[in-house]
Amino acid sequence: MDKNSRRDFIKKAGITGLGFALAPSLAFAGKKDGIVKLAFIGVGARGMNHLNNALQRDDVEITAICDISPKAIDNALKKFEKYGKKAPEVYGKNEKDYKNMLERKDVQGVIISTPWVWHTPMAVDTMKAGKYAGVEVSAAMTLEECWDLVNTHEETGSHCMILENVCYRRDVMAVLQMVREGLFGEMMHARCGYQHDLRHVKFNNGEQIYGGGVEFGEKAASEAKWRTHHSLHKNGDLYPTHGLGPVALYMDINRGNRFTSISSFATKSRGLNNYIIEKGGKDHPNAHLDWKLGDIVTSTITTANGETIIVTHDTNLPRPYSLGFRVQGTNGLWQHEDGYMGGNLMHIQGHTKDHHWDNADEWLNKYDHPLWQKYGEHATGAGHGGMDFFVMHEFVHAIRTQAAPPLDAYDAAAWSAVTPLSEMSIQEGGEPQSFPDFTRGKWFKRKPVFGFSQV
């Protein structure tokens, strides 16, 4: 599909979307009727959100859940009672009990919301069992794991969808419409990142998750049991996909373009140590730990088509939340700081005053994506501003139609590879690292699919 054809397609889709907006419906059956049978590995904080969204769908039956936390299982079962749904079979006797669940014939897709180190092994086992894997971010922690996702997909024919919800954020999808219609001209540059003060998440005392405690590991609860160890032992961009996923879609990564190299740098580490001293005192045992993760990690990525992307990881210092989006082409740019008054800006040559910003709201409303026009009413309350609805919806639709998901194993590998490659680059003083071509050359002919479905 050339650029002109793509623009015509988007315009027609936008007109169709206006019709959807007049009479939104939860008639999810689409071309192939039937109930999609799902299972869940991990029903803690993130998994519970996915579970809640799935339980509200009439086209989904949840046949099994797995978690090694009895408390998480109890909370999940209460959700089934709340929605009047049949209780699922429960697994979780040990860390490998999920494999027994994967043997079930009444499971077509599996949502994986577990600690990072389990994402790839569980996704691989799910695909080998002949089921769709929906894996939370990041999908992989090493280059070997990235290849495991791709190789397993190609060897088994089973699919893996990376559940990157920010790709479905309303403004992000509106900008995607603008990119595809050529409003920004030819893509040149983007900035993004994960800039989020997570000190209260990385530490807690096992009783109060938010605030107060400075324990992690076995003495802690929730994400502090596992997430904080990565900051102690790794120095790289540990969580790249929230910002990079949308930018990859804007630049047609793996579908006419690909990442080629990355160069990364990290500041010194002070934020976590200061937090421990502030909350627990300078004599607390954790105040003497040597944290490896630099407080701010900055990476520059190059692409085969000649664009650059700056990605920032910033989770250990006091700051407001922001993904720091900037999307720039030969004809203008969008720049956005989450939660900042006046920080949602647009400049389009020939439409906005020379050298001046325009408020982006009118532009984003004008180019509201057809999927949001159709399902925006139902996305309300689904989590993260409604974008969690679309992640579940697209996963279920892919299973029902036996189609490849819009965010596939190649995307999961390319986006997640930023973590190990940034680590390597920092270790080598910022030396550029080459991205593997996870598509093995298929990127040159693959066509963009994300956001084109109207089902």
**Burial environment of residue 268 by CB neighbours within 10 A (0 to 12, 13 to 18, 19 or more):** exposed
Which candidate, 236, 176, 182, places its Cα nearest to that of 407?
176
Compute how many other C-beta atoms are within 10 angstroms of the C-beta atom of residue 301: 27
Query: By the 8 A CB rule, do 83 and 56 touch?
Result: yes
Give the whole-angstrom CA distance, residue 187 versus residue 333. 9
Sheet holding 132-135, edge to edge: 89-91, 60-66, 36-41, 109-112, 132-135, 160-162
At residue 311, φ and ψ (nearest 5 deg) are: -120, 130
CA count, 13 A, side-chain hemisphere, 213: 19
User: Which pLDDT score is estimated for 383?
Assistant: 87
pLDDT at position 12 is 45
**For helices 241-250 and 409-416, what crossing angle results, to 10°?**
120
Which amino acid, 70? Answer: P
Alpha helix locations (H) across 68-197? 70-82, 98-101, 116-128, 143-156, 170-180
Q: What is the pLDDT of residue 18?
A: 36
Q: What's the CA gap between 142 and 436, in Å, rounded?
A: 12
Residue 231 sits at the vertex; the CA angle it makes with 221 and 422, to the nearest 5 degrees, is 140
| Cα dihedral 445, 406, 198, 146 sign | negative
**For 347-380, what is each residue's pLDDT tens digit?**
999 999 999 999 999 999 999 999 999 999 989 8
Output the average pLDDT for the chain: 92
| Measured distance CA(112)–CA(42) in Å, rounded | 6
- What does the pLDDT read at residue 33? 57
* Strand (E) or helix (H) holding 326: strand 325-329
Looking from the CA of 159 toward its CB, the CA atoms found within 13 Å total 22
User: Among candidates 166, 158, 64, which has minimal Cα distance to 111?
Assistant: 64
Q: What φ, ψ does residue 133 adopt, rounded to 5°?
A: -105, 125
CA distance 95 to 125: 13
Predicted local distance difference test score (pLDDT) of residue 212: 60
Would you state the pLDDT for residue 17?
Answer: 38
| Contact by Cβ (8 Å): 65, 87 | no
Q: Where are the alpha helices (DSSP H) in 181-297?
A: 199-202, 227-233, 241-250, 271-280
Q: Which two tokens stand for residue 109?
A: 């897709």
Q: How far apart are CA 123 and CA 153, in angstroms?
A: 10
Q: Which residues of the chain have pLDDT under 50?
A: 1-7, 9-32, 209-211
Q: Residue 33: which H helix or E strand, with range?
A: none
Cβ–Cβ < 8 Å for 216, 202: yes
**pLDDT score for 30:** 38
CA dist 170 → 176, 182, 184, 392 (Å):
10, 19, 18, 15
Question: What's the CA gap between 401 and 280, in Å, rounded?
Answer: 53
The answer, yes or no, to whether the previous bond of 138 is cis (omega within 30 of 0) is yes
3-state helix, strand, coil in the chain (%, to 5): 40, 20, 40
Cα–Cα separations (whole angstroms), residue 273 to 154, 175, 195, 227, 317: 44, 39, 18, 16, 10
